[in-house]
Amino acid sequence: MSLLSVRGLTRDFDGLRAVDGVDLDIAEGEVRALIGPNGAGKTTLVGMIAGRIAPSGGRVTFDGRDITRLPAHRRMRLGMAYTFQITSIFPGLTVAENVTLAARRRVRGAVLGAAVTEALARVGLGPRADQVAGDLAYGHQRLLEIAMGLAQRPRLLILDEPTQGLAEGEIAAFETLIRDLAQETTILLIEHNMAVVMALAHRITVMAQGRVLAEGTPAGIHANRAVQAAYLGGGDAAD
């Protein structure tokens, strides 16, 4: 059974259809990449999955439970964590304090400190635990947000453009991290860096004009002529 199942998910904005009847199934333990050109509807789709955007139609099921009308904070309690395309941290707090606040959504008691320490270590920010978050370089702020997601010990981790702003060496470390995390959690990855997508994804869903254009393995998607015409031959994708 799929951990996440989406059926007919649709969103209209002022008469414009941003997402049009999308079906999506993600199996537990899978790394699924979501790609597509600018304006394809990826971030809107993920916003509906995470509960931050109300759908105009359709259904979202998580672990067999209909969560279509649940708010974002209730979905977090069920085990869904979402990092934003634009960093969402508390710049005046320390790195450790940011992760502690995020962890409290799912973790309580004596294990809280351990969860924070582990999350920071996994993204390479352990030595920066006491640094003010707003003083971090942008790439490190992205890693901090990933740590904030990890500290919640999610069953589904949604990462929206996680490598944006990362240096080449940091991207290599990120790939290692995702391979490690895939042993314990399900990951939905919205990413513009196709080398990262091809290296990490078990399956890829391609969106164009609010709909699913294609779905398959990295090799199958790379060879798909419709995908090449709509996306792979036309530059990167951030929306």
Q: What is the pLDDT of residues 185-221, one digit of tens each?
A: 999 999 999 999 999 999 999 999 999 999 999 999 9
pLDDT in tens, 41-71: 999 999 999 999 999 999 999 999 999 999 9
User: Is the distance from CB of 202 to CB of 188 less than 8 angstroms?
Assistant: no
Please state whether the predicted TM-score (pTM) of the whole model is above 0.75: yes
On the question of pLDDT at 111 being above 90, the answer is: no
167 and 49 in a common domain: yes
pLDDT above 70 covers what percent of the chain? 95
Q: Assess if residue 84 is contained within a domain.
A: no
The CATH number of residue 27's host domain is: 3.40.50.300
pLDDT in tens, 80-108: 999 865 567 999 999 999 999 999 877 87
103 and 115 in a common domain: yes
DSSP assignment of 164-219 equals TT--HHHHHHHHHHHHHHTTTSEEEEE-S-HHHHHHH-SEEEEEETTEEEEEE-HH
If you average pLDDT over every residue of the chain, what do you get? 91
For the ranges 38-42, 56-60, 138-142, the maximum mean pLDDT occurs at 56-60
Q: Give the mean pLDDT of 155-176.
A: 91
Token reading at 152 = 């919640």
The residue to which tokens 């992760």 are assigned: 99
User: Is the distance from CB of 103 to CB of 115 less than 8 angstroms?
Assistant: yes
Token reading at 47 = 């916003």
DSSP letter at 132?
B
68 and 162 in a common domain: yes
Beta-bridged to residue 17, according to DSSP, are: 12
239 and 166 in a common domain: yes
Position 41 scores a pLDDT of 95
* CA pair distance 21, 59, nearest whole angstrom: 10
Burial state string for 5-41 with b = 16 or more CB within 10 A and e = fewer than 16: bbeebbbeeeeeebbbebebbbeeebbbbbbbbeebb
* CA pair distance 148, 158, nearest whole angstrom: 12
Q: Assess if residue 35 is contained within a domain.
A: yes
Please give the residue range of the domain that contains residue 122. Answer: 89-153
Q: Assess if residue 98 is contained within a domain.
A: yes
Which of 131, 153, 175 is the last residue before a domain boundary? 153
Token reading at 180 = 């490690």
